Amino acid sequence: MIVASIGNLNFDIYLKVSELPGPDENVEALDLYTGGGGSAANFAVAIAKMGLSARFIGAVGEDPLGEISLRELRAEGVDVSFVKRVRGVRSGVVVVLVHPDGVKRMVSYRGANLGLTPADLTVDKFAGVKHIHLATGRTELILKAKEIAREIGASISVDGGTALARKGLEIVRAAVEGVDVVFMNHVEAQLVANAGDHKSAVEKLARELKVGELVVTLGPIGAVAFKNGRLLHVDAFKVNAVDTTGAGDCFAAAYITMYLRGRDLYERLLFANAAAAIKVTRPSARASPRYDEVVAFLESLGYKI
């Protein structure tokens, strides 16, 4: 079963800091590490670890960082045959400031990622694909992918992030109409719905968005999903967070894995929460767990999957 992921591929530079610097101020980093990033690429790696076939579709520059990023994806078992090389532009880079409590702040250089266009999304690149996931706020890519999904009979999910949420409810509504699963975190949901809390945001979006399932992650208090008039909340697992980077991508990949396995709404949320809980105890965006790790984690707590 092939799952295609469309969106960004970045080279991430992590700096662990005890505080953020003020204007013209310097603070000492407690640690430094690097690794692959980009929500769509993180999702592809997480899907591969779930035991499904992963295909990444995106763009990199013709530079050393692009080659390093592609090599890392290949090493994780992700198909990068359809990645576009963009001349004269550097590959995407993200600097991540990580606080000791695991909370992150990021500065992104999109670079070659912006070189991916709707014209690059051709049907031949999706041969054998069962599900298409878009981790991008670029509506032109989402609309094109929806056309392809309809043509090939694939299901489709969207995680537009803050970039999509900032475009407002009308644009979001048009972009995700007919999508099978839409992911947001609680901040993005409140931004789209122009609501002061996640409960009223979810209620409004459940009415406004014509999608199969709306899934909103709530950080340390779990996640909620709305489907066919039913709203379900599943609590998060309590763990000591080290790095939350990529937790949402890991959650989405685990959720889609259970979606494709035909599991019910509760099982999807439970499994996705467990996968994200394991991920945040590990540094870097790609430190998502394998399927059997999640099963073992849940079984250790008395859950049967």
Which pLDDT belongs to residue 101? 73
Beta-carbon contacts of 273 under 8 Å, excluding residues fewer than 6 positions away, are: 222, 223, 234, 235, 236, 237, 251
Query: Is residue 30 predicted with pLDDT exceeding 80?
Result: yes
Q: How far is CA 204 from CA 73, 180, 191, 195, in A?
A: 38, 18, 12, 8
The pLDDT of residue 19 is 87
User: pLDDT digits over 177-190, tens only?
Assistant: 999 999 999 999 99
Q: Domain segments of the chain: what residues?
A: 2-300
The predicted model gives 35-49 an average pLDDT of 95
Tokens found for residue 22? 């003020």
- Looking at the domain that runs over 2-300, which CATH code has it been given? 3.40.1190.20
Residue 98 confidence (pLDDT) = 84
Q: What is the pLDDT of residues 240-251, one digit of tens each?
A: 988 888 999 999
Query: What integer pLDDT is reported at residue 245 of this predicted model?
Result: 83
H helix or E strand, kind and range, residue 14: strand 10-16
For residue 242, the model assigns a pLDDT of 85
Q: Give every CB contact of residue 140 below 8 A, 6+ residues apart in sequence.
A: 117, 118
Give the tens place of pLDDT for each residue, 99-125.
877 677 889 999 999 999 999 999 999
Supply the pLDDT for residue 38: 93
Residue 246's Cβ-side half-sphere holds a number of Cα atoms within 13 Å equal to 35
Instruction: Tell me the two tokens of residue 260.
Output: 């494709």
| Residue-level pLDDT at 106 | 85
